[in-house]
Homo-oligomer: A and B are copies of this chain.
Amino acid sequence: MRILFLGDIVGEPGRKSVIKFLSTIQKEHSIDFTIVNGENSAGGRGITPSIANDLFKAGADVITTGDHVWDQRDLADHLSNEKRILRPINYPEGVPGSGLISIDTPAGKLAVLNAQGRTFMGQALENPFLILEDTVNALIKDGTKMIFLDFHAETTSEKIAMGYHLDGKASVIVGTHTHVQTADERILPNGTAHITDAGMCGPETSILGRNVESIIYRFKSSLPTRFPVAKGPVRLCGVIAEIDPETGKAKSIERYNRLLEPGEM
């Protein structure tokens, strides 16, 4: 089972590029299942039902999110109908949406999870280490072998700790949120593929997808300002991981990282 994951899609440049290139990438890399993080796909802030539909049409199977999940007002209602969009699982009971979807694939059941870290994150959510341990144990008990987690968190320590915490239980754990791909993809000792951050899909000349000058202005002056999505060539970042459907262990994980040429866009 070959899974493509694309990191945080930022604004129109990011989502147009993903929509245009996704089927090609899937073919080139014999992808069986595609997960994308869409938390910044609507002008950098959240995702709308309509953008989500465009991403599904383009070939995404599941969309994960993160701290920006509620930025667009109409998403919360949409989550009750559209189970393929996940929000972090570690919200309290009663919150719209779900952080888990279980999908029957030709290779067997695949569970996709989305959770959010707590260190330096805007929202105070419940303990993801405890909730994910319980959830993953229940999935395994239930016979699910292939488990994919997008762990949306700020610090490298929380993201690497989650990798070891679920090592041998989850098949693949990718970090998101920092928008910069890390060079530490590896299979952990007990068989879980891990990368600290998958990176983003957004404008190359930018600061996390945002206009460079506005962010520098902010750091220099501490004054508020708007942070428009940047323009120009887009880089697509993510990972391609292969899971052994018999064991649920990862067979490989590779970084996906491609700067689209201006002519391609």
Contact = CB atoms under 8 A, between A and B. Distances in A.
Q: How many copies does the complex hold?
A: 4
Of the candidates A124, A129, A162, A179, the one having the most CB atoms from chain B within 10 angstroms of its own CB is A124
A208 interface: yes
A119 interface: yes
A164 B220 contact: no
Chain A interface main SS type = loop
A222 interface: yes
Contacts of A184: 180-181, 199
Contact of A223 (B70, B180, B255): B70
Contacts of A125: 222
Interface residues of A, number: 52
A70 B180 contact: no
Contact of A183 (B154, B199, B215): B199
A260 interface: no
Given A70-B223, A92-B130, A164-B207, 16 more contacts: A92-B127, A92-B222, A94-B221, A120-B120, A124-B222, A154-B154, A156-B179, A156-B208, A160-B207, A160-B208, A161-B207, A161-B216, A164-B216, A180-B184, A183-B183, A184-B199
25 contacts: A91-B221, A92-B127, A92-B222, A94-B221, A120-B154, A124-B124, A124-B127, A126-B127, A127-B219, A129-B219, A129-B220, A130-B220, A154-B154, A154-B155, A156-B178, A156-B179, A157-B207, A157-B215, A161-B216, A161-B219, A180-B183, A180-B184, A182-B183, A183-B257, A184-B199
